[in-house]
Structure 1
């Protein structure tokens, strides 16, 4: 079998609902690599909360973070590393209009950037419960353009925030609400998606598009599933992702759906 580039989303796909990699998933991804295939993480998560999974899987090549906006090799500077950023003025504007827009947290992030401000504790698992004094987001502290802004907003005001962003910054950023229980909107550079990262990986490894297999479950995976030669939706994926995919796993992310599918697809059975 030709060498495959296996692009894996983390949450809802490679990770179970406890946000862990199961022993079976770990074993199958390791066997895939031992068989000569490439395993690459392509996630919406920041690098600060995905490098642990990269290390756990003993990966060596680039990882894609922030839905395609950052491609890098963790723990080092790599020559072909890239990062897309947008103007920090957007963050300053939202800081000024926080109250009227119903925003109670903004986090500005990048490869080496994490700053946040919040009015009340926000139960969004990705953010520290206590901010250090050097992590407070304001006009003075944000010296660099961010790769991502994550905004927690009152649910009834979410649509108003999206309209405000569209009216004012539509040519610079894409704004996407998270799936799931949290009312969170994430901003990234206009037109940059997970497919941007997968294309970078394909060039990096000299793999043709038809030899890319991608796994995902949520709307931020759609461009990647569409781009890959073989796009696979998880059993627990949203309906639009399932309709876009070439195939759907029989099992969900709590039943080793990705591992079971890959074992069969790559003929890795022990």
Structure 2
């Protein structure tokens, strides 16, 4: 009999197909894993309001890691000790000031479920307003009054590496940053030391599951620490090269039931 494992799922590019749905085979396999006594959880860069639909679809009753570890809570247990580690507002203003000379397409700050967008962009709003947050449009330094959970910098693919290098050279002691390639080029900034492995560690200890029995799946650079932390870190076939290089295993892509195929094999599911 296989001992209980903790299965950790990134959302975009991992659990979700390119159509942003959970395939029938992967859903069926995850439900079988739960029935066999394994725990299933989500660890994503998304806020909870934009991941709740998938949490509920899988019938989860575990804590969830949102904002890449800056917010960890238990949606069905209000007595569970929530972790929320926002960025100090003064740091955000300093970062925004320091990148003024780069070409920026947009700036977005999220204070939990309040979204602040510097320039109105319906494509961005269609994604960020999932879960119906309060949206404020206008210059960030004028409207943002609270410590945000995350700051997003939208820029062209040619400018993203330049901005990230600048942040690494000048703000490394204050913030951590990651790149999104989908659905647009975005640099996500969180408080220094926040990443998915921090949240995962907290949840795993609460569930009393050791690292060697954690199976984590991811595809992007915001999954690096989580894939390294897990006893079995799995990169999706569509994942970035850097993640594949450190992963224990590489499975099929998010469109080819990569999660299901590996779990069926590893956990002796049918």
Is TM (by shorter chain) over 0.5? Answer: yes
How far does residue 95 in structure 1 lie from its aligned partner after superposition? 5.2
Cα distance in structure 2, aligned partners of 1:209 and 1:29? 20
Counterpart in the other structure of 1:166: 168
Question: Once the two structures are superposed, what CA deviation does each residue of 1:100-157 show, in whole Å capped at 9, x if it has no partner?
Answer: 322221111143332222165555863349x998523544542321111011123343
CA distance in 1, matches of 2:120, 2:249: 44
Matched, 1:185 2:187: yes
Q: Equivalent residues in 2 for 1:1-270 (5 A)?
A: 1-74=2-75, 77-93=78-94, 100-118=101-119, 126-128=127-129, 134-136=135-137, 138-139=140-141, 141-180=143-182, 182-249=184-251, 251-269=252-270
Using the alignment, how far apart are the partners of 2:27 and 2:75 within structure 1? 19
Deviation at residue 170 of structure 1 after TM alignment: 2.2
Q: How far did 1:7 drift?
A: 0.6
- Alignment RMSD: 2.5
| 1:72 to 1:157, Cα distance in 2 relative to 1, 3 A | same
Shift of 1:65: 0.8
**Residue 104 to residue 47, structure 1, CA distance change in 2 (3 Å):** same
User: Could you tell me the TM-score, scaled by structure 1's length?
Assistant: 0.88
Residues 113 and 146 of structure 1 are in contact (CA less than 8 Å); yes or no, is this contact kept in structure 2?
A: no
1:73 deviation in Å? Answer: 1.8
CA 1:74–1:143: 2 relative to 1, 3 Å: farther
Does the 8 Å contact 2:179/2:221 carry over to 1? no
Q: CA deviation at 1:77?
A: 3.6
Q: Secondary structure at the match of 1:204?
A: helix
**Deviation at residue 70 of structure 1 after TM alignment:** 1.0
Aligned length: 267
Q: Distance in 2 between the 1:244 and 1:267 partners?
A: 25
Farther-moved stretch of structure 1 (107-116 vs 15-24): 107-116
> What is the CA-CA distance between 1:56 and the residue it aligns to?
0.8
- Unaligned 5+ residue runs, structure 1? none
Q: Is the 8 A contact 2:67 2:150 kept in 1?
A: yes
SS of the counterpart of 1:135? strand
